[in-house]
Each structure stands twice: as structure tokens, then as C-alpha cells.
Amino acid sequence: MSYHFRQENGDAGDGACGQCGEPLPADEGTGPCEQCSCACGQIDGENCPAVVRADNRVVIEWMPPHLRSSHEAAGNRGVYPHNGAERLTVTDLCAGRLLGDWTHVVEMNR
């Protein structure tokens, strides 16, 4: 899945993300770049249109389902990054709906 979008009016330059201005590879599709897009879709499988900005940025850590049973059997969750958990940058609204037993906030920019 591609998270890039091209700035049509040229404000960010040709082949640049319209949100942050970072250069994009020529083969990228549409959508904000990975640094700017909400990564919640990696957890829930939905294509989130939200853009992460400095005022709504949250880093969450979540345990993919295929690793949970081994951690439950061991009686612990291990320590990131060796435990297989993933850290994702999402919006504050998406973080709120994703938090649970296997997902927690690591960093919040406010």
C-alpha cells in the first residue's frame, strides 16, 4: 500500500509529498507519504485517510496477533524491539480506538 500523494499545484515541487514536501519515488501512487499518513491500517486493515501532524501525533506499540500466544504462554510481553512488537505513528483519534491489551501509547506529541 502506498501512502504518498503528489502535490498537484506544485507548492511542494514535482514528485514531492503535498504534506511534508519530501521527495517521492516516481512509481508512488496517491495518499500522504509514510511519514505523514496514519498507520492504523496496519492494525485494522482499513485504509485511513487521516494525516498525522505535530499536534495529533501518537506513537503506539502493538503486538501482532501471530506473536501473542507465545507471549501469553511465557507470561510476559518481552521488551521492544526484541519481542516482535511494532511501533506505528497514528493520529490521536485512531490511537484512542486502537488501545487495548496488546496496544499502548509510547509517545504523544501535544
How do residues 77-108 score in pLDDT, each as one tens digit?
Answer: 889 999 999 999 999 999 999 999 999 999 88
Q: Are residues 29 and 64 in the same domain?
A: no
Q: Are residues 65 and 12 in the same domain?
A: no
Q: Are residues 20 and 69 in the same domain?
A: no
Q: Are residues 55 and 16 in the same domain?
A: no
Predicted structure pTM score: 0.70
Q: Are residues 50 and 104 in the same domain?
A: yes
Higher pLDDT, 8 or 21: 21
- pLDDT band of residue 13 (cuts 50, 70, 90) is very low
b or e along 58-88 (b: 16 or more beta carbons within 10 Å of the residue's beta carbon)? Answer: bbbbbbeeebeeebeeeeebeeeeeeebbeb
Q: Are residues 61 and 87 in the same domain?
A: yes
Domain count, the chain: 2
Q: Are residues 86 and 52 in the same domain?
A: yes
Q: Are residues 30 and 48 in the same domain?
A: no
Q: Which domain holds residue 90?
A: 41-108
Query: Could you please report the per-residue DSSP string of 29-46?
Result: -SS--TTTB--THHHH--
